[in-house]
Structure 1
């Protein structure tokens, strides 16, 4: 499984129609494989993304600084999301480079044309898989 670029225009990030999105089952396998090895900050990022996916009815998107605050990082969490995404890329066999950022393995970016801010949200397949993973493992550990 690799993400392929449109060869006519290599100097751009892939849009959602062009990128490969793993299945819910593939994400579930990835969570089972890599979750325990994640840092507390990366787990906090996933939990915040998950919360917005399921509990924020009107707005599933958040700013990267909101993720930073939830994970205890100073400043923007974009780099941490990239590191987290790279772990998913490695497990799922996805390639990444400057035009295919590793963060796109788990999130989507959105530019708000009115306020100019960038927002992110967990890919729906990843959100559903993380919900299942939490039900199977994290919550059963309590």
Structure 2
């Protein structure tokens, strides 16, 4: 029998508070990853899931960005007072991972609550974007 428990997803308001609190201290690479995730999130015209290497490329990292996504997710997890195992992997504090049934590749997308909050955060801070 599995001990699987339901994944905790913060509300849009909680994500907005997190962006207000931690965005300014993120590295340029983490900001670039967040921006790339946002550009391709569910409510955009070019909606599609991203591969980790696409995020690496956007952030200027060589190789795979999955470790950097984990660091970024950990910052949100810490803000929410979550233990790492509450999310399973730190990255799951801000993204979801999906296996493509045809290609077998893993794809990443921003959690919708985080995407809506980031949209509001961007509107509040237009001069930064």
Deviation at residue 64 of structure 1 after TM alignment: 0.4
SS in 2 for 1:55: coil
SS in 1 for 2:85: coil
How many Å separate the matches in 1 of 2:85 and 2:19? 23
Aligned residues: 128
Unaligned runs of 5+ in 1: 1-7
How many Å separate the matches in 1 of 2:36 and 2:79? 22
1:68 aligns with 2:61: no
Deviation at residue 96 of structure 1 after TM alignment: 1.2
Aligned to 1:9: 2
CA contact (8 A) 2:16 2:120 kept: yes
With the length of structure 2 as denominator, give the TM-score of the two structures.
0.91
1:109 aligns with 2:97: yes
Of residues 36, 41, 45, the one that matches 2:33 is: 45
How many Å separate the matches in 1 of 2:2 and 2:96? 20
Aligned to 2:44: 55
Unaligned runs of 5+ in 2: none
Of residues 97, 119, 126, the one that matches 1:131 is: 119
